[in-house]
Amino acid sequence: MRFQDVWFRYGRRAPWTLRGVDLTLQPGETAVVAGPNGSGKSTLLQLAAGVLRPGRGAVTDRPAVIGWVPERFPADQPFTARTHLKHMAAIRGRDGTADIERWARRLHFENFLDVRLSRLSKGSAQKVGLVQALLAPPGLLVLDEPWEGLDAQTREQVPAIVAEVVARGGSVLVSDHLGEVARLPGASRWHVRDGEVHAAERPASKKVIELAVDAADAPDAVSRLRSAGFEILTVRDEVPQP
Ligand SMILES: Nc1ncnc2c1ncn2[C@@H]1O[C@H](COP(=O)(O)OP(=O)(O)OP(=O)(O)O)[C@@H](O)[C@H]1O
């Protein structure tokens, strides 16, 4: 998929949200889109998914099947999760019954399949959003903040799901404002800032620095390091020696 000199704005007189984006996502490639809040990450993903159209330029070489998982799954619909997913499978020309059961088991929401979407928690609705994007193997999977709103058990599944799409030759575009990029080793990084999007140079090598802080200071330290652009690999308890 290619962004070819893509410009986008939300209204004819509005300022440009994105300007002159020129980037390519190869088959089998994953790119993580990072940038400050409101910089245009979701906008870029929606242009990739074809949900928004560029004001100028073009998005080309899109695969036939695109799975798009929005940041917030629109759950205000009068269907159960199962009925909604069956409709989504039918749109893709599939029966879907077995796949829906399999995904529901994998993401631990078998008990919610027959619950109306409007009654689901945000996390469960996000799972339905994730499954609808995977019912037909996507050539491009677009995940908007996939770690947000999901429970810890399901968050752990995201890298495996990404790896499965990539292994089939699909590409994946993921936005990330929490700095969770370390969960996707090998992913390219795209940075959105001041309306421009640039692919980061791949770092030649890295060093791992161990650091100890008082337990009470850990959340603040993690958040400050992340906002300074550092990757947090692990946070573990250290039992004091007697
Ligand atoms: N539907 C819309 N109409 C008008 N402006 C919008 C719309 N959606 C987003 N914007 C504006 O476009 C800019 C980019 O928004 P976008 O949601 O793409 O940013 P983001 O980087 O994904 O933000 P966040 O990290 O907070 O999710 C913001 O200034 C936002 O207010």
Domain ranges of the chain: 1-65+137-206, 75-133
C-beta 154 within 6 A of ligand 1: no
* Those residues with Cβ within 8 angstroms of residue 214's Cβ, 6 or more apart along the chain or in another chain: none
pLDDT at residue 236 greater than cutoff 60: yes
Of the candidates 151, 162, 137, which has an alpha carbon nearest to the alpha carbon of residue 109?
Answer: 151
> Separation of 202 CA from ligand 1 center, angstroms?
27
Q: At 9, phi and psi to the nearest 5?
A: -145, 150
Residues 169-176, mean pLDDT to the nearest whole number:
94
> Separation of 144 CA from ligand 1 center, angstroms?
12
d(CA 58, CA 192): 18
> Separation of 116 CA from ligand 1 center, angstroms?
29
- Residue 203 pLDDT level (bands cut at 50, 70, 90): low
- Domain 1-65+137-206 annotated CATH 1.10.150.120: no
DSSP assignment letter at 8? E
What was the pLDDT predicted at 173? 96
Atom 4 of ligand 1, nearest CA residue: 10
Go through the chain and tell me how many residues it has. 242
Task: Write out the two tokens for 31.
Answer: 């790119």
Atom 29 of ligand 1, nearest CA residue: 38
d(CA 142, CA 129): 11
Distances (CA, A) of 67 to 23, 117, 220: 20, 19, 35
Residues 191-208, mean pLDDT to the nearest whole number:
84
Calculate what percentage of the chain has a pLDDT beyond 90.
63
pLDDT at residue 148 greater than cutoff 90: no
Q: What pairs with residue 188 in β-bridges?
A: 31
* Those residues with Cβ within 8 angstroms of residue 89's Cβ, 6 or more apart along the chain or in another chain: 95, 96, 97, 99, 100, 135, 136
Of the candidates 57, 226, 48, which has an alpha carbon nearest to the alpha carbon of residue 138?
Answer: 48
C-beta 43 within 6 A of ligand 1: yes
* Those residues with Cβ within 8 angstroms of residue 109's Cβ, 6 or more apart along the chain or in another chain: 81, 124, 127, 128
What was the pLDDT predicted at 80? 93
d(CA 84, CA 93): 14
What was the pLDDT predicted at 202? 66
pLDDT at residue 226 greater than cutoff 90: no
Of the candidates 202, 228, 201, 189, which has an alpha carbon nearest to the alpha carbon of residue 33?
Answer: 189
Q: At 11, phi and psi to the nearest 5?
A: 135, 150
C-beta 46 within 6 A of ligand 1: no
> Separation of 124 CA from ligand 1 center, angstroms?
24
> Mutate which of 12, 21, 39 to test ligand 1's pocket (most atoms within 8 Å of Cβ)?
39
pLDDT at residue 1 greater than cutoff 60: yes
- Residue 76 pLDDT level (bands cut at 50, 70, 90): confident
102 three-class SS: helix
For helices 122-132 and 97-106, the axis angle rounded to 10 degrees is 140
Query: Which residue type is seen at 16?
Result: W
191 three-class SS: strand
ipTM above 0.95, yes or no: yes
Residues 58-82, mean pLDDT to the nearest whole number:
89
Query: Which residue type is seen at 42?
Result: S
Q: Tens digits of per-residue pLDDT, 35-56?
A: 988 999 999 999 999 999 999 9
Cβ–Cβ < 8 Å for 20, 6:
yes
